[in-house]
Amino acid sequence: MKILICFGTRPEAIKMAPVVKACMRHKTIKTSVCVTAQHREMLDQVLDFFQITPDIDLDLMQQNQSLNQLSARIIEKMDTVLVSEQPDWVLVHGDTTTSSMVALAAFHRGVKVGHVEAGLRTYNKYSPFPEEVNRQLTGRIANAHFAPTQKAYNCLMKEGVKKEEVLITGNTVVDALQMGLKLAKQKPPEYLKKLLNELKPQKKLILVTGHRRENFGEGFLQLCRALKNIAKQHGVEILYPVHLNPNVKDVVHKELGQLDNIHLVPPVEYPVMLGLLEACNLIISDSGGIQEEAPSLGKMVLVTRATSERMEGIEQGFAELVGANADKITERALFYLNHPKVLKKQDNPYGQGDASEKIINYILSR
C-alpha cells in the first residue's frame, strides 16, 4: 500500500508527525511525505525536531499571496505529484488551505482521501475563516474520517457520512505532545532556558499566542488593550511569541513593544513552546492546537475567538471563550490569576496518545 501524507503549516506538521512515524513503522506501507510549505520557516522547525525529511517539497510560500492564489498553486502542483506518485491514499489534516486543496486535487484524480482531525464544526462559515469551510469541503470529499472526539463523530453522522467511514481516534496532537516532551527532555532547548531565566520566577506567567484571520485589525487591537491592562498588575509577566504575519506582527509590536513586563519574541520552536506551556500559569490564545494541548498539561486557556469547534475542552472547564473583547479578556485573566483552577491532566477530552496507530490500522483494514 502506498500512502502520501500532505501538509503545509506548522500546526499540521506537529499533528501529522506522529502519523508519519506510525506509517513508517509498518513495513507493508510505502510512505511519502509532501509539504506545500504554506508556512516555510515555522514548518521547517517542526520537521527538524521530529526528524522528518519530506520526499516532495512544493515550496509554495510567497509573501502576501491571496488565498485564491495559494489555492490555485496547490491544485496545480499537486496534480503533478499525484500523477507521479500514484498513491492509494492521501492523508490530509484538519482545516488549512493545503488540506482542502490537496483533497480536491486527489478527488479529481480518483485517489482516496483520509481526513485526520475530521468533523470539527462551528457551522459559521466566517468563524474561523477560512478554516470552517476548508474542513467542511474536505469532509465532503474524504473517504475516511478520523474524528478526534464523540462530538466530531456526531457532526459527521448528522451530515450523512457513512458510519463505517468514521473512526473516533482521539487527537494526534496528544501523540505529538507526548513524543515532543520526551525528545525535549533528552536535550532541553537552550533558548527555553534563556527565556525562562529572563522572567522573574516569583511572578505569574501568562503565555499569549494569536494568528487567526478573523482577529486581524480590531481583534488584535482589543487583545493588545487587554494585555496592557493585565500588565499593570503587580506580579505578572506576559510572554508573547508573535506570529510573523504583518497583520499580527506590526500591530502587536506597535502597541506592546514599550512595556517592560510584556516580552515579545519571534515564533518559538515546538520544544520551546512545550516548555513554555508547562511553565506558564495561564494561556491566552486563539489557537486550536493549544486548546487541545493544554489539558494534557493541566493548563487553563482563555480563547480569544467568538466560536470554537473544540467545545469539549470548554465544557470540561479547560478553556473559556472570551472573544476579541479587551474588557472580558482582562477580567477573566485576572480572575484565573487570582483564583487558579485545579485541572486534572488525565481528564483530557482529546485522547491519550494512541490516535496515530488507530488511523493507520484502520487504513490497513480497508
213 in active site: yes
From the candidates 12, 85, 117, 293, give the one annotated as an active-site residue. 117
Contacts of residues 317-323 at CB distance under 8 Å and 24 or more positions apart, as own/partner, are: 317/341, 317/343, 318/291, 318/294, 318/343, 318/348, 318/349, 319/291, 319/294
Q: Which of 10, 212, 243, 310 is catalytic?
A: 243
145 has catalytic annotation: no
Instruction: Find the catalytic residue in 26, 73, 213, 263.
Output: 213
Active-site annotation holds for 211: yes
Q: Which residue from 52, 50, 72, 48 is spatially nearest to 62, judged by alpha carbons?
A: 72
**Residue 194: exposure state from Cβ atoms within 10 A (0-12, 13-18, ≥19):** exposed
95 is an active site residue: yes
> In the sheet that 30-35 helps form, which strands lie side by side, from edge to edge?
56-57, 30-35, 2-7, 89-93, 112-116, 144-147, 166-168
SS3 label, residue 324: coil
Exactly one of 211, 305, 310, 332 is catalytic; which is it?
211
357 catalytic? Reply is no
| Measured distance CA(361)–CA(195) in Å, rounded | 41
Of 85, 78, 93, 8, nearest in space to 43 by CA: 8
Q: Which of 12, 40, 85, 95 is catalytic?
A: 95
73 is catalytic: no
Which one from 12, 85, 131, 312 is the annotated catalytic residue? 131
Dump strand ranges (E) for the chain.
2-7, 30-35, 56-57, 89-93, 112-116, 144-147, 166-168, 204-208, 236-241, 262-265, 282-285, 301-303, 319-321
Which residues are tagged catalytic? 95, 117, 131, 211, 213, 243
